[in-house]
Each structure stands twice: as structure tokens, then as C-alpha cells.
Structure 1
Amino acid sequence: MITFALFFVTALAEILGCYLPWLWLRKGGSIWLLVPAAISLAVFAWLLTLHPSASGRIYAAYGGVYVCVALLWLWLVDGIRPSTWDVVGGAVTLAGMAVIAFAPRGS
């Protein structure tokens, strides 16, 4: 559960770090949005280092959680309710994430 929570917070940091420049470029937001965006992306990179496994495996497993958090963002921030297919796709990515992150490993 701690691993999933860390993935979730990591995904939020990445999405926020990308969303703020999007607001600046596409929605005419203040250039000052780039400051918290840079901080958020730095936090994202730091959070990735807190995982105990090899970085490639972490990035692969994190991708599944990222997809689901992005769909949640779509709903809560963009105001677009995910479709049934979005939910099914999110469930498939979480299943793949679980296989990658939690499979037993030989020494």
C-alpha cells in the first residue's frame, strides 16, 4: 500500500508539473506558473528515487499508476467523466503494474 501511495503522489507531482506550463501556453496563464511547475517536476524526480527497486522496473510499474491518476485528473480537474473504456483501460494498466511491481523475484 505504501508503494502505491508513493506512486500516486509521484504521478500527481508529474501531472501538476506538466499541467501548469500547459495552462501558461494554452490558456494564457501567468508565466509565474513555471516556477511551481519546475518545483513539482523536481519533486517528481526526487520521489522516483525513494523506491527501493531498480529504476527501470519502477518506471514501468509507475506508468500504470500514472495512467489511472491521469484519468482521475481528467475527471476532477478537467471535468470530463472517464468512459467505461477509460476505466477498463485503467484497470488493465493497474493489473500490469501489479505484475511488474509485486512479482516474486529470484536472487
Structure 2
Amino acid sequence: MAVLAYIGAALAEIAGCFAFWAWLKLGKSPWWLLPGIASLCLFAYLLTLVESGNAGRAYAAYGAIYIMSAIFWLWAAEGVRPDRWDMIGMGICLLGGAVILWGPRPA
């Protein structure tokens, strides 16, 4: 469940931020802000679905999924194929996020 919530949150965050980017950088209508704000609210809500016990841990582990999403955005939206250093860095981040989220803790 956590991974799905994180992936949904990453997509919602990227979509929400892109709406602001489109308005400010691409000259799109301010009406783009309405779905952008809704998307950012969805992003925040989805993070609350993660059962980590602590908001800080949920946010820290989410960072790894966001980095993965950003690397895939680089490839899919910008047409820049990630190099091995992008992939190695993303793997390190994903491993770190998994340790933060699922590492054993005393009860």
C-alpha cells in the first residue's frame, strides 16, 4: 500500500507543480492553477495513507519515490535518457527509502 500511495503522491505532486510551471513559464492561463492546487492537495492526502508512525519518516521515504519519478520524467517528458549515474543514484535513494520506511524498530 505504501508504494502505491507514494507513486500516486509523486504523480500528483509532479502534475501540481507542472500546472504552476505552465502558468508561470509557459504562459498558460491562470485557470491551470485550479487543477494544480487540487493535485497538490491530493499529493498531501496520499502521503497520510502511509503507515509509518511518523510524518517525517513517511516524507523521507517518499523522497526516494519522488527521485525515481523525476528520473522517469527526465526520460519520458524531456527526452533525456538517464545515464548510469542517474540510475545508480536512483537505486541508492530507493534503497535508503526502503530502509527508512521498513527498517526494524523496537515496538
- TM (norm. structure 1) is 0.93
Distance 1:12 1:84 in 2: 24
Aligned to 1:78: 78
2:43 paired with 1:44 = yes
Q: Indicate the SS of the match to 2:81.
A: coil
Q: Alignment partner of 1:48: what SS?
A: helix
Moved over 2 A (4+): none
Q: 2:100 maps to which residue?
A: 100
Offset of residue 48 of structure 1? 1.1
The alpha carbon displacement at 1:18 in A equals 0.6
1:79, CA displacement in angstroms? 2.0
Are the aligned partners of 2:20 and 2:33 in contact in 1 as well (CA < 8 Å)?
yes
State the identity %. 46
Instruction: Write the distance in 2 (CA, Å) between the matches of 1:61 and 1:106.
Output: 19
Deviation track 1:75-95 (CA, whole Å, cap 9, x = no partner) reads 112222212211111111001
1: CA distance, partners of 2:76 / 2:59:
25
Q: Tell me, which stretches of 5 or more residues in structure 1 are unaligned?
A: none
For residues 56-93 of structure 1, give each alpha carbon's deviation from its aligned partner in whole angstroms, at most 9, with x where no partner exists.
Answer: 11001000111001111111122222122111111110
Q: Which residue of 2 aligns with 1:21?
A: 20
Structure 2, unmatched stretches of 5+, are none
The residue type paired with residue 69 of structure 1 is S
Total equivalences in the alignment: 106
Distance in 2 (alpha carbons) for counterparts of 1:33 and 1:79: 24
1:69 aligned residue: 69
Distance in 2 between residues matched to 1:30 and 1:73, nearest whole Å: 23
C-alpha root-mean-square deviation of aligned residues, in Å?
1.0
Structure 2 distance, partners of 1:49, 1:11, is 13
TM-score calculated relative to the size of structure 2: 0.93
